[in-house]
Amino acid sequence: MATDFRSLIPTLSYRNQAFIGGKYVPAASGETFDCVSPIDGRVLTKVAACDLEDVNRAVAAARAVFEKGSWSACHPGKRKKVMLKFAELMQKHKDELALLETLDMGKPISTSAGGDIPGSIQAIQWYAEAADKVYDEIAPYRPDSVSLITREPIGVVAAVVPWNYPLLMTSWKLGPALATGNSVIIKPAEQSPLTALRIAELAMEAGLPEGVLQVLPGFGETAGQALGRHMDVDMIAFTGSTQVGKYFLRYAGESNMKHVSLETGGKSPNIVFADAGDLNHIAKTSADGVFFNAGQSCNAPTRILVQDTIKDEFIALIAKHAKPWAPSDPLDPNTTMGAVVDADQMNRVLGYIESGRSEGATVTAGGSQVRKDTGGAYIEPTVFSDVKNDMKIAQEEIFGPVVVAVTFRDEAEAVRLANDSIYGLQANLWTRDVSRAHKVARQLKAGTVVVNNVWGSDITNPFGGYKQSGIGRDKSLHAMDKYCQVKNTYIQL
């Protein structure tokens, strides 16, 4: 990698105040919280801890510009131009954004610089391009009438996002919400507020009118809940845990029945049939899918379902391919796995590892905290075998570098086990039998099914879950609909 990221650290200045009405401002209470790097436990900066009063100010600013119409009712071509400029400015500052992401949440710099930041820029660009290319409709109605089906921006959208891909999750929401003309308030996770705060001023520099974008750092129970319960927020676009997703449904029900879209957890099955072919390749791809981002991916293939006749060979191969994912310094360009997001998350993951042991599963690889001397939060890539699908480690989302392997006898049992989960975000299956691939894919209750791979994500494809993995879809043109009201206008001729 050409950029020497370590040498850039002294040049960084952290945006640590809320961004409301086009300006950085302290929280009304003056309260702050420590922004801690999981790389070494160091406090990077103190960030404004927003609460109800800040939410009120941000919503008022967002509403005022929405009603004025300078963004919500402008020519879509103007939105395209501003958003393309915004993406261009993100590109200009890509190294800084990548470094902020890595310092803030501990992922390897190669991942931030090679995946998260380019993906975020692409999302803004892609929806910018879509802004003036998506047409409304005329219904096939009576010949003496015209029935128009038009899309209008919903209004004030609050995007409450997690820490695992901070800027990417933000951009998946910001892109379609801005392209369709909404005012947006971003509430980044308290573990990772820095990139969302930084891009706010880039959006202004690109020409976004004041008030169209607010960023409110703060805690879930305070800032997040205040947005969820606000009577003048029209929509919550949420990515995070299933538990908090349910809170947002409750907040909406107890306030103004705002729209709620949810991208929540996952425990994605990865079914390996005995006829799948090159087991070494499958095991490597599967291990890469699990341990990428230290297992902190909602769609990670963390639940291997392997046919009993190949289980010993396959589990040994997974353990072999886990090894190159040993955690190391996130700022080293050769590092594959960095820290997990913070000490709390590390202890949660270690708790699951303990629970797997005590329920009788076997730790085939890893299983411990490492690099303790750094002061950071690091866990070895961990593989469990002898797992039953009803064990806690097979049912709950661990959200760390841990994969479990359950065995099955035949196709029917594979499908039953795959669907035996509260989640339905993604399912993966490996087979050389094309008919089996189609048959099984149809039976899997998941928003995304990937056959003979575990990677299937692209901005062009819709992403979201069945069951308790969520409501609605991010990405692709499908995402634009959820940021719009659909209006029907009949005109009698």
Q: Site residues (CB under 6 A) for ligand NAD?
A: 160-164, 169, 187, 189-190, 219-221, 224-225, 228, 239-241, 244, 247, 263-266, 298, 397, 399, 425, 465, 469-470
Could you tell me the two tokens for 44?
A: 């990077």
Separation of alpha carbons 257 and 50, rounded Å: 23
Active site residue 484: no
Minimum distance of ligand NAD from residue 433's CB (angstroms)? 30
Q: Which is nearer to ligand NAD, 108 or 217 (CB)?
A: 217
Cα-based distances in Å from 20 to 90, 113, 120, 220, 391: 20, 28, 22, 18, 46
Separation of alpha carbons 307 and 309, rounded Å: 6
Could you tell me the two tokens for 218?
A: 């703060």
Selecting among 96, 263, 380, 397, the annotated active-site residue is 263
Q: Which is nearer to ligand NAD, 35 or 425 (CB)?
A: 425
Q: Which is nearer to ligand NAD, 240 or 401 (CB)?
A: 240
Selecting among 96, 101, 190, 298, the annotated active-site residue is 298
The answer for 22, left when phi > 0, alpha when psi is -120 to 50, beta otherwise, is left
Q: Which is nearer to ligand NAD, 22 or 224 (CB)?
A: 224
- Residue 113 is given by DSSP the state I
Alpha helices in 69-146 (DSSP H): 76-92, 94-105, 109-111, 117-131
Minimum distance of ligand NAD from residue 108's CB (angstroms)? 18
Minimum distance of ligand NAD from residue 87's CB (angstroms)? 21
Q: Which is nearer to ligand NAD, 181 or 465 (CB)?
A: 465
Active site residue 298: yes
Minimum distance of ligand NAD from residue 457's CB (angstroms)? 10
Pairing of strands 448-451, 402-408: unpaired
Cα-based distances in Å from 226 to 59, 72, 216, 346, 402: 11, 24, 11, 28, 34
Contact yes or no for 99/4 (Cβ under 8 A): no
Catalogue the E-assigned strands of 154-248: 156-160, 183-187, 213-215, 235-239
Minimum distance of ligand NAD from residue 219's CB (angstroms)? 6
Which residues are tagged catalytic?
263, 298
